[in-house]
Structure 1
């Protein structure tokens, strides 16, 4: 069951006029929030204020998670395969690629909606509304904005910082800002979220776990610090999250991806998809990850993504994660049923996207609830507790490439133990990178892990030596440094040519 009641009002003309100037341009400064409340809305109760944050838990993220997220992370990194997205296989992505445009627009929609709450909520609440509720909602907005910018900076390195769209009414074209300034904003937003959000302990009552907490913000900040190579800060923050007892590993890896276990005690932040008559509210993994053609969905054959040839042999014997991430021919899944109610056994000839296999993760089957388009309500993880344990382990290496630190190994081996693997006595960058790939396959982490854990030369060599073809044809392509940062979407630079100029320093308000 979801925590939220998804009761959404369409955006009003007043909000467009007040927040986003005068036209319906595709420029991100003028892109209206989707499924938001009117800027004229006034809140008289705690429930009304809490409902204001609800859309930010799912709707504006859909533009990225519809397809582009897999393409820009999993296909690009060599974990997924699909002939429809060959530029990301062949390292030939251009600024006109629609996946870039959709992701940019989705993330700046999150920024815009977060900004509206951060900048305007205090002036729109009745005196009877609890200050704790106001603080929590503002904390959630700071958290959402930080996460959106965390994706933006890792995809594009330099992007514009927009804290308040009203600041640009008379000058809507803006420069990109430096990468270090964007990280400063992200850190500051998460620190504010930590100060405003409530503490909680996540137990078996999953219904109460959907909204982010102090622990969620600290966990995300640890991840941000790690991306900046601030190892001491990352280790300290990860330790705070671990020692808080808020989160814990779910006993069974397979249980993580069942709809009934949405918002379990391992979930730090998840997109709260829902079944709706409104297109773009649900999780389309059940159809996009090769399930539709095998009776696991309510629509026809739509085998979009398959596993890459490169990922098919990464799991050692006995690793429980393999069958939950990749469909193995002949395996019968205990919790996966076809639309006809038959327990699903993977056919011997399964071959999503001519891969010779198929993706299992996030596929929930034909007995789950779904909408007209085959989308389901199972959550998408943005971060889960296994990541925190591995962040601590990585930060303990402090860039040295290895560690025998007992605490770091204990946390690292907790993740392995759940997968049915024996403890390792030492940890290296190579071992950690492989373990993260196995644990977070098809969750969008590998592209970022590669760039963080490998030198540029090591990364380019790895990408260039991957078999990026299908089961019939090996394909290899040479990656260059330019392929590691995506180009600014051409639709955005056409509206705002300053995006093609050199980045400038951001003038943070005092």
Structure 2
């Protein structure tokens, strides 16, 4: 079975359904008889297998499993940086053609685009399928295709685009299409998906995209495209009509301690990883980026509190952690930057700080701060390299803040307070609601509010880009001595270069932009 994740996009024509065993329960089904392009699709089960195969692409290291998308959505902003001199090409903006240009991510996203194009055309109008199964499959495929092009257009701008699977010759000569056109068509597809998908799932179907997941993605498209009324309408639809609710306790949003109970009412869409998958990348190693490594911890680790000849602090600490079934076995690659780690930079009384940031654990001061919301030290249920934690793609608090931002841009802050204050109500005790701001004051306050609420969740860098403040923010942010992104970042870095291997295979990719997004 060919692994497309390391094969250049333009050499790939055949669409092969992967063995569907791992990840969420709805993917735990054996691939028995096989499906080929000659028999697409004879029954409901075959259509479902095809959809499941597209979902499985999301579990790749190049996407959600580890630093695939996080390289360009989390790193290189003002919230996350490495604890040592690693991942420097990305964080320090040393990106170029062939250098951290996202080629693996590009290939995986285009595998999604190819598979969804073929499957949509094979399922639509297929009389071998029941109406319910056909609608379900089409809705999910439309969502997954829109998610792929959402990332492609966010990261590369104008990109190759197709709605039907191109021929080999067409793939080898395809040019880039206008980003705005692509995004317009994806929003129309999502509107259709909203009408096809169910409002919720239960049991073994948890992890599939609901109508509210499609609505959230559509709202994101509108927000990024500054279509404020549409962004507001979609966000309010979720707030008022969906089964999702804000949890009472911020820390509970990120509680993944029980592998059998990792969903909550605030999640709109997650990529649900599992421990010990039978096949494939069903588990995640992203957690290891946020987990400390014991060689760094605790502070003054080689001191001997009991005097010469007694155990060192690190030996005492390791024993203490082990007594709780815990261990610091991670990489420590994704830790809070100094400014966000400093509690004095947060608004006084913001309880999200202690839920998000940890500088002292089980009575020991740590050498570095860490993101408590993203770590899991449990060595039994979440061991190194084999973690089951969900990647939260969309959650309701983000939607509330999107509604607040859109309402402020449309009409000023008066109608926006209710949305932002709903999020702040659980962050402060006593409550600290916003009021009395001008439109510009509200806009700028939102820059920080989204940082405190959504830090290290995959939103920050794109927020800074869409606000037009990425460069000034990176330049003004304190980084650790081994990083210097402020010295290197340039206007071109709001987009990635089209991967070098793709240009070598198809020079037509430079036809509409010989500069390759400014990298030539």
TM interval, short-chain normalised? 0.7 to 0.9
The residue aligned with 2:153 is 153
Counterpart check, 1:235 vs 2:232: yes
**8 Å contact from structure 1 (residues 206, 262) kept in 2:** no
Give 5+ residue unaligned stretches, structure 1. 1-9, 17-22, 331-344, 351-355, 505-510
**8 Å contact from structure 2 (residues 405, 446) kept in 1:** yes
How far apart are the structure 2 equivalents of 1:193 and 1:132? Answer: 13
CA deviation vs aligned residue, 1:241-298 (integer Å, no higher than 9, x gap):
2221322112222222233453322111111222314352222232121345376878
The residue aligned with 1:282 is 283
* SS at structure 1 position matched to 2:487: coil
**8 Å contact from structure 1 (residues 34, 60) kept in 2:** no
How far apart are the structure 2 equivalents of 1:121 and 1:325? Answer: 44
Counterpart check, 1:223 vs 2:237: no
How far apart are the structure 1 equivalents of 2:93 and 2:170? Answer: 39
| Mapping of residues 47-446 of structure 1, within 5 Å | 47-62=45-60, 63-65=62-64, 66-82=66-82, 83-98=85-100, 100-122=102-124, 126=128, 129-169=129-169, 172-200=172-200, 209-259=206-256, 260=258, 261-275=261-275, 276-293=277-294, 300-313=329-342, 314-330=345-361, 345=362, 347-350=364-367, 356-367=368-379, 369-370=381-382, 374-398=385-409, 403-406=412-415, 408-420=416-428, 421-425=431-435, 426=437, 428-446=442-460
How far apart are the structure 1 equivalents of 2:122 and 2:177? Answer: 24
**8 Å contact from structure 1 (residues 389, 412) kept in 2:** yes
* SS at structure 2 position matched to 1:349: strand
Specify whether residues 467 and 238 from structure 1 end up closer, same or farther in structure 2 by C-alpha distance, changes over 3 A only.
Answer: same
How far apart are the structure 1 equivalents of 2:116 and 2:358? Answer: 39
CA deviation vs aligned residue, 1:443-477 (integer Å, no higher than 9, x gap):
11011111222x3xx4422221222225x888742
The residue aligned with 2:30 is none
> How far has the Cα of 1:159 moved from its partner?
0.6
How far apart are the structure 2 equivalents of 1:88 and 1:475? Answer: 9
**8 Å contact from structure 2 (residues 245, 265) kept in 1:** yes
How far apart are the structure 2 equivalents of 1:297 and 1:50? Answer: 39
User: Which of 439, 447, 469 is matched with 2:461 structurally?
Assistant: 447
> How far has the Cα of 1:72 moved from its partner?
1.4
How far apart are the structure 2 equivalents of 1:474 and 1:415? Answer: 34
Q: Which sits farther off after the overlay, 104-113 or 41-50?
A: 41-50
> How far has the Cα of 1:215 moved from its partner?
2.1
* SS at structure 2 position matched to 1:358: strand
CA deviation vs aligned residue, 1:419-448 (integer Å, no higher than 9, x gap):
225111146121111111111111110111
> How far has the Cα of 1:135 moved from its partner?
0.5
Specify whether residues 180 and 120 from structure 1 end up closer, same or farther in structure 2 by C-alpha distance, changes over 3 A only.
Answer: same
TM-score normalised per structure 2: 0.78
TM-score normalised per structure 1: 0.80
**8 Å contact from structure 1 (residues 139, 194) kept in 2:** yes
* SS at structure 2 position matched to 1:390: helix
Give 5+ residue unaligned stretches, structure 2. 20-33, 298-320, 515-520
